Amino acid sequence: MDDLLAQWMTVKTNIAELEKEEKIIRNRVKFVMEKKELMTFQTKSFRISRSNVTRETLSKNVCPPEVWIRYAKKSSFDMIRLMRRDEKEEVHHEEEE
């Protein structure tokens, strides 16, 4: 089991590094699109579009209890926490059901 958990930790670390790299590249593309005032464009191999998405949220702290009780949606998921025995920082993996 220790080998399997070590493999998982390595993969999680690699994913985190790749996500950082992906964010840098995405921001560069976004910058160019904004500078040229483009919402879509194509290259020989790719097509890209950007849009603005708005989400509305409601915090339980600012919501009347009767409204929260009536309209709040609850979802449950399993959470597995992986951390090295010599570290305090946890790595979370969530699985929605």
CB 77 within 8 A of CB 96: yes
pLDDT of residue 90: 52
Query: Quick one: average pLDDT of 18-45?
Result: 93
Q: What is the C-alpha to C-alpha distance for residues 84 and 92, in angstroms, rounded to an integer?
A: 12
- What is the domain partition of the chain in residue ranges? 2-96
Q: What is the C-alpha to C-alpha distance for residues 38 and 49, in angstroms, rounded to an integer?
A: 8
Q: DSSP strand E in 50-87: where?
A: 77-82
Secondary structure percentages of the chain, helix, strand, coil, to 5: 45, 20, 35
Residue 53 has pLDDT above 70, yes or no: yes
pLDDT of residue 94: 52
73 three-state secondary structure: coil
- For 92, the enclosing helix (H) or strand (E) is strand 91-96
Query: Quick one: average pLDDT of 49-67?
Result: 91
pTM: 0.65
Q: What is the C-alpha to C-alpha distance for residues 31 and 42, in angstroms, rounded to an integer?
A: 16
pLDDT band at 86 (very low <50, low <70, confident <90, very high): confident
Residue positions counted in the chain: 97
Residue 96 has pLDDT above 50, yes or no: no
Residue 27 has pLDDT above 90, yes or no: yes
pLDDT of residue 4: 94
